[in-house]
Structure 1
Amino acid sequence: MMASASPGYSSDLRPARSEELTLASLDAAARLRLDEDQALVRVDFDLAPGARAEAVELILVARPKSDASGGRISVSINRGRSVVLAPRAESFEARFALYSEAVRPGTNTLNLVFEAGGEDGWILDAEASRLRVSAAPAAGYDSLSDIEAALASDYATPRRIHVDAREAGVQETAVAALTAQGLALRLGEAPILVNEPSVAELTVRAVADPAAVTPAIVMTGPSEIQLSATDSSALIAAARLFAARSMEGQERRFGAAQALSAPRLVFTETAAAPASSDLAHLAALGAPFGAEQGSRTAVVIAGADPESRAAALAVIGRAALASGSAWIYGWFGEDVQLAPANHNLLVLGPMDTMDARLIEAAPSEVRAATDAARARTPRDSHYFGSTAFAAEETRALGDVTGIAAIFDDRRGRTVALITAPEGADFARAAKRLARSTLWDGMEGRAVLWDAAAVTAFGPSTGPAFSREAVTVFLRRNDRWVALGAFSLAVLLLIAGGAVNRTASRRV
């Protein structure tokens, strides 16, 4: 049960926003069938502490059990005022408003009651039926427990989160990655990480505080929590605490003493193990990187710009969801050469920032996916005069094209790559992968994804020089190809003139 609103923050609200979730995502275990044997269906949903619901709408999709289906369906929230439907014996999609005054911060229950009257019932489509709630989120919270509850809520949860780990020094990447995984495990999805604190709804900041007795999580503002330790090297302990333990029931400080009795932070909705140990295994279970909480895992973020870094952290958070827990014993860094040689390796970032030897060591299907991705990226055209400025504007955002690959290198360790070719936008591609069902579509040893679909590349026996590779070569060297063609044309013209003059003299 979630915490209810308290007077400390209930009067200070952010602008309302509308969020829509399927009934299946709200309660995957619910049996959405209405008939005489099951006349009541309950679907629970959570509204974040301090939030205020302003409008509620249900899109209900159902089909009749038989030609004799009928009766009435009564819909209410928390046993409040009901809306009654009397559908005919045919499939329907009904959209109607519910009474929002019945919705309160914490756990709410959507009730669907069937009144048979001797008629057959209905089968509800949980994937197509959706509950939309427009709510004003709280601008701040009173305790760490409230923040924990808000992050776990279905509606009005703080979505945009700013993570600042700069004071962690050489441990900055590790602190940021563990923070992202802790956020993902609480949210149940990859976090939306923003680089501007002014637009964030929640800020997590790592601070070296000489006055700190032990590493701890401290609430320093209504929407800010601080990972605190005596110096930068000890901040990793505070990050591990944030990623490993729940803050439920905690007030404004959560340290080692409280962690002894705090529940573990886990995500239990992991998928069944696939038959193969490839990208499908990574997508479903985070394997092999999540084994033993990452004790034999090295994670390298190769992208240097803030957007690429935030996107890589979102993918790392999504991988923790697949594992079910954070990789608190993993190694995190920015240089693949510093990664432990006996650790499995996960590398994220644009392809042009990666060690070229990783791509060279990859199997043929990885190179095939790379060639195909490069062929999809926009042509690096050259503009002159008045069109040059317009061209720069249109190329501000690259294509959403990414590559994921997994293979064993010569050292026997598993290497996984999450990258994007030159000309594509790694940040957009990685965020799309982390926060969509594209993640679940990964399989085989290499995949190429775009904004809508995932394409798998299996073992290949084709020639090393594929048509895609030739296309990429020509596109990336179009100036030299054009110069060569022009030079050849000039040579042919000169040679033709010489031949004509020789022929004329002979005549």
Structure 2
Amino acid sequence: MAIVASGTFAVWGQSTGSTDAAAGQTPAAEVDTIPVNTEERSLSDLDGGADAFILSTTRRLARIDFTLPPHVQTSEAWLRLAARPASDSTAGLIHVSVNGGEAITIRPQARPMEARFALFSADFRPGSNTLEIAYSTDTSAAGWIVDARRSQMRLTLEPVAPIDTLESLEQALAADFAAPRRIALITDASRERVTLEALVAQGLALRAGQVPLFTANADEADLIVRIADNDRLAADDRAALRSGDRSTGPEIAFRNERGLPHLVVTGRNLDEATAAARLMAARSFIGYRRGFLAADAMTATRLGTRQIRDARTLHANADLRTFADSGLPFSADQGSRTAVQFSTQFDADRHGALSVLARAALISGEAWLYAWYGDASETAPANHNLLVIGPGSTEIAAVDRNAPPELRAALRAAERSRGQRGLMRLAAAAYADAADAEAGNEVGIGVASLFRDQANNGRWIGTLTAPDIASFEAAGRSLARSDLWTALEGRAAVWSARGVTALDYTVVAPSLVERVQEFAVDHTRDAAFLLFGAAFLLLVRGFFGRRKQARARA
């Protein structure tokens, strides 16, 4: 999706300066360490996923909004416009401008075209921008159909200053171009590790409007987030705190080291660090500079969109479509009745699970602030809905005990479809003999399922998992960062880069009305024949009746 000329994934990539550079670099020196970013985005990505839009006499103007991070200037801008005429008689002009600036006019012929031309870079600005594509004609021509997926805008952005505040970091995360997309979560093994990372990951995704790439490798990151209590922080991280050494409670601090932004989420102990992570997932940083304390939450803006969600109103036949569209039943009341359990053993798989959870928070509109979080070694509350994320989730007793046949069939399909066979054969693979399965090395295949607890009908159990031999990092990222998420449906589904295959064997007894409707549809021809026969008999009866009456009168 993005093309980065500098070799890093975004403008806020790692420093290119020497490691022995002075810690007290001036802002100008820090700017020199930030690489110039060249990135290309399709108009479909910027316009909410629309495949195409029409320019005609009834819709003469299309506006596409996008944002740029603060502290950058646009040195070069190009647009590749792919379109086809709506008819052979299409005529007229197409005008392209940015933020109401001087328009570039092209006069295409009535045939499919792909025009590439430079835009006026001076018209671009940090923050909100609008690309306007207008159509004008003196005739009643049909106009043009613009292919939004093939049409792309390419920008070269040069930094003019480093990110220096929490507010500017939040604005950079929300940008459509040159945003920090590879984020290193640096945590220590502890009882609250899953909780800390889960809350921070949701907060980052809600700010970015998409799922970032989570990693543990700080050398490749565009943003480093250190999550720990005071005693485990490095001296540079402690120096960024408001007191300059130790926090007095839950605290979020910001610092920039040689052009690379660092975020510190901490407290005097793990409980306070968890409270700080919850603050990050609940409140916006707009209006704040280098630090954010618990007291600031009283006046800070809410992060995300609060929606009324009540799992008790769900229909008994809710499935993965319900979850993919709204996050329900797990997102109800900000996750207060949900237990999220990670069945991961390795850092990479845990980052894949965080990606899936971040996508669920985006769909929900807000973070699951009050959910219970834990790993496979902990016991989830039995009175909570349960969502298990990670490979081998059937090893969790609650999942194994209540797993529907669709889930087990989907897991067999995933295990036997890791070769080069098409996803269209997944359903058949679920019933194939093991001897017929082909060995393969494909990764990135996952399984999703949603079902009820057999012992407690009011409790929902869901899982997003993968076979033990597969990479859940690849599977989780492919699901969370693509349209595969919106294709989930049924009681169980298998996903891979090729698509989604749903499995649902549930048979519900039809109602009397449905039986009548089904009978009517199945016997339409028979009913027509009977009605025709009855009409013919009535016609013959009438004929002989009139003949008999005529004879009687004679």
Unpaired stretches in structure 2, ≥5 consecutive residues: 1-26, 232-245, 421-438, 508-554
Which deviates further from its counterpart, 8-17 or 413-422? 8-17
Letter in 2 for 1:428: A
Which deviates further from its counterpart, 144-153 or 359-368? 359-368
User: Partners in 2 of 1:66 and 1:460 — Cα distance?
Assistant: 48
Q: 1:449 aligns with which of 495, 503, 511?
A: 495
Which deviates further from its counterpart, 248-257 or 189-198? 248-257
User: Partners in 2 of 1:346 and 1:283 — Cα distance?
Assistant: 13
User: Partners in 2 of 1:31 and 1:460 — Cα distance?
Assistant: 38
Q: 1:252 aligns with which of 274, 287, 290?
A: 290
User: Partners in 2 of 1:48 and 1:96 — Cα distance?
Assistant: 24
User: Partners in 1 of 2:160 and 2:179 — Cα distance?
Assistant: 9
Q: 1:135 aligns with which of 148, 153, 157?
A: 157
Letter in 1 for 2:301: P
User: Partners in 2 of 1:274 and 1:452 — Cα distance?
Assistant: 31
Q: 1:155 aligns with which of 177, 180, 188?
A: 177
Structure 1 pair 109–264 and aligned structure 2 pair: CA distance change class (3 A): same
Aligned ranges for residues 92-171 of structure 1 at < 5 Å? 92-118=113-139, 120=141, 121-136=143-158, 140-166=162-188, 169-171=190-192
Per-residue CA distance 1:183-231 (angstroms, 9 max, x = gap): 1111111120011111111011123237312312111335011112121
Structure 2 counterpart of 1:334 = 375
Q: 1:284 aligns with which of 325, 328, 335?
A: 325
Q: CA deviation at 1:109?
A: 2.0
Structure 1 pair 140–200 and aligned structure 2 pair: CA distance change class (3 A): farther
Q: 2:66 aligns with which of 40, 45, 52?
A: 45
Structure 1 pair 35–426 and aligned structure 2 pair: CA distance change class (3 A): closer
Q: CA deviation at 1:332?
A: 0.5
Aligned ranges for residues 55-70 of structure 1 at < 5 Å? 55-70=76-91
Is 1:321 equivalent to 2:362 in the alignment? yes
User: Partners in 2 of 1:290 and 1:138 — Cα distance?
Assistant: 41
Structure 2 counterpart of 1:405 = 449
Structure 1 counterpart of 2:302 = 264
Structure 1 counterpart of 2:247 = 212
Per-residue CA distance 1:128-169 (angstroms, 9 max, x = gap): 5332334356884110000000010000000100112327x3
Structure 1 pair 100–12 and aligned structure 2 pair: CA distance change class (3 A): farther
User: Partners in 1 of 2:114 and 2:71 — Cα distance?
Assistant: 33
Q: CA deviation at 1:251?
A: 0.8
User: Partners in 1 of 2:45 and 2:473 — Cα distance?
Assistant: 30
Structure 1 pair 397–313 and aligned structure 2 pair: CA distance change class (3 A): farther
User: Partners in 1 of 2:39 and 2:339 — Cα distance?
Assistant: 39
Q: CA deviation at 1:258?
A: 2.3
Structure 1 counterpart of 2:409 = 368
User: Partners in 2 of 1:338 and 1:22 — Cα distance?
Assistant: 46
User: Partners in 2 of 1:268 and 1:92 — Cα distance?
Assistant: 44
Structure 2 counterpart of 1:481 = none
Structure 1 pair 264–397 and aligned structure 2 pair: CA distance change class (3 A): farther
Letter in 2 for 1:233: D
8 A contact 2:475–2:496 mirrored in 1: yes
Letter in 2 for 1:411: N
Q: Structure 1 stretches (4+) deviating beyond 6 angstroms? A: 28-31
User: Partners in 2 of 1:174 and 1:274 — Cα distance?
Assistant: 27
Structure 2 counterpart of 1:241 = 279
Letter in 2 for 1:88: Q
Per-residue CA distance 1:88-128 (angstroms, 9 max, x = gap): 23443433332334323222221223332345343434455
8 A contact 1:23–1:43 mirrored in 2: no
Structure 2 counterpart of 1:351 = 392
Aligned ranges for residues 166-185 of structure 1 at < 5 Å? 166=188, 169-185=190-206
8 A contact 1:162–1:197 mirrored in 2: yes
Structure 1 counterpart of 2:104 = 83
Structure 1 pair 195–26 and aligned structure 2 pair: CA distance change class (3 A): same
Is 1:438 equivalent to 2:500 in the alignment? no
> Alignment partner of 1:418: what SS?
strand
Structure 1 pair 100–420 and aligned structure 2 pair: CA distance change class (3 A): same
User: Partners in 1 of 2:209 and 2:119 — Cα distance?
Assistant: 27
Structure 1 pair 455–23 and aligned structure 2 pair: CA distance change class (3 A): closer
8 A contact 2:393–2:465 mirrored in 1: no
Structure 1 pair 16–261 and aligned structure 2 pair: CA distance change class (3 A): same
Letter in 1 for 2:109: R
User: Partners in 1 of 2:138 and 2:348 — Cα distance?
Assistant: 59
Q: CA deviation at 1:325?
A: 0.3
Q: 1:221 aligns with which of 248, 252, 256?
A: 256
Which deviates further from its counterpart, 123-132 or 397-406? 123-132
Structure 2 counterpart of 1:377 = 418
User: Partners in 2 of 1:130 and 1:443 — Cα distance?
Assistant: 32
Q: CA deviation at 1:37?
A: 5.3
- Count of paired positions: 439
8 A contact 2:46–2:64 mirrored in 1: no
Letter in 1 for 2:207: R
Q: 1:196 aligns with which of 185, 198, 217?
A: 217
Letter in 2 for 1:442: L
> Alignment partner of 2:328: what SS?
coil
8 A contact 2:42–2:150 mirrored in 1: no
User: Partners in 2 of 1:269 and 1:336 — Cα distance?
Assistant: 33
Which deviates further from its counterpart, 430-439 or 74-83? 74-83
Q: CA deviation at 1:38?
A: 4.7
> Alignment partner of 2:228: what SS?
strand
Structure 1 pair 50–264 and aligned structure 2 pair: CA distance change class (3 A): same
Which deviates further from its counterpart, 114-123 or 326-335? 114-123
8 A contact 1:402–1:421 mirrored in 2: yes
User: Partners in 1 of 2:466 and 2:44 — Cα distance?
Assistant: 35
Structure 1 pair 136–401 and aligned structure 2 pair: CA distance change class (3 A): farther
User: Partners in 2 of 1:29 and 1:313 — Cα distance?
Assistant: 27
> Alignment partner of 2:271: what SS?
helix
> Alignment partner of 1:142: what SS?
coil
User: Partners in 2 of 1:107 and 1:11 — Cα distance?
Assistant: 25
8 A contact 1:71–1:115 mirrored in 2: yes
User: Partners in 2 of 1:158 and 1:353 — Cα distance?
Assistant: 35
- How much identity, in percent, do the aligned residues show? 39
Unpaired stretches in structure 1, ≥5 consecutive residues: 1-6, 380-394, 462-507
User: Partners in 2 of 1:86 and 1:365 — Cα distance?
Assistant: 56
